Homo-oligomer: A and B are copies of this chain.
Amino acid sequence: MANIKDIAKMANVSVTTVSRVLNNHPYVSQEKRNAVLQAIEKSNYQKNYNAVHLSTGKTFLIGVVLPYSNHPYFGLLVEGIANEALTLNYNIVLIQTNYDKNRELEALDMLKHKQIDALIICSRICDWDTLKHYSSYGSITLCEDTRGRNLSSTFIDHYESFFTALEFLASKGHSKIGYCIGRTSGTNSTQRESAYRDFLQKYNHPYEVHYIFNNCLFLEDGEQVIKEIKKMTDPPTAILVTSDQVAAGMVTCCHKENISIPNKLALIGFDNQPIAKLMAITTMEIPLVQMGRNLVIQATNSKDTTYDQFKSRLIERETV
């Protein structure tokens, strides 16, 4: 492919003149301009966009860090991110970490090396000091409560959301309540754990460690939880399930095993995924698509640090 020097040679002008024509600079005679345009036409010259980026310093790429590319929670979030990015003329670079710290660091290095304009971290494992260090190189936006940390974020008050769901179960007469969670570390999980402990204390219920099910992310994990509950001599009567996907797995398994929902086991899902509507699962709706859109708006407005809290909402269906 011809480069700028080839074009200059073909048009019999200087490299500077070619550059001026490419950048619509006014001080070029019409004659020379035409010669350059003809040479470009002839040679099929393509403006090297990386060169353009060097001068503007912008890539119009936003990095999106997420642990799994194929999970419905992140699916809805990425749907919002992708749509808003499209609107603002950005493309997104998907960086799947599987919660491997080195991969998250590679993503942060992309920001440092100006390969992306901004980074959205949907779920994090690096510590705050690391993020603070990298935020000097470019905009980092998170999907968890970052108030007091000087990093922008879009988040749900997971403490309040969990407490609301627990109070709803209490109002229906439940006292033996457990929960399923994707991972026990991370800001969101810590907030949920606090809400759970405060709820137990308020009602004077004991903390039963086997009522808490970790690593629950996919449909199949719901099946596993039901199997564990079936083995218990004093099982929970209700479960908060932090993923509708897992809740759907539990409903399907209960149906197979003739465990009546909600009589024998009540369930509250989270997110309000399409499957929750279809299977009539009571759920705490989280507006993930809108949150994804907001993350992009924050990521591209890197001047101000903003903390945008979104509301979750209980949707009553048939599993409580």
Contacts and interface: CB of A to CB of B under 8 A. Distances in A.
A291 to B, nearest CB: 14
A53 interface: yes
Contacts of A59: 50
A278 interface: yes
Interface stretch (A16-24, A88-96, A175-183): A88-96
B46 A54 contact: no
Contact of A46 (B47, B61, B113, B277): B113
B51 A219 contact: no
Contacts of A54: 48, 50-51, 54
Interface stretch (A26-34, A71-79, A118-126): A71-79
B112 A46 contact: yes
A135 to B, nearest CB: 14
A50 B53 contact: yes
Contacts of A113: 46-49
A190 to B, nearest CB: 28
A93 B86 CA distance: 12
A279 interface: yes
Give the number of copies in the complex: 2
A275 B69 CA distance: 17
B103 A86 contact: yes
Contact of A218 (B78, B114, B274, B279): B274
A223 B115 contact: no
Contact of A69 (B46, B75, B115, B278): B75
A219 B91 contact: no
Nearest to A78: B69
A308 interface: no
A112 B48 CA distance: 9
Contacts of A199: none
A227 to B, nearest CB: 13
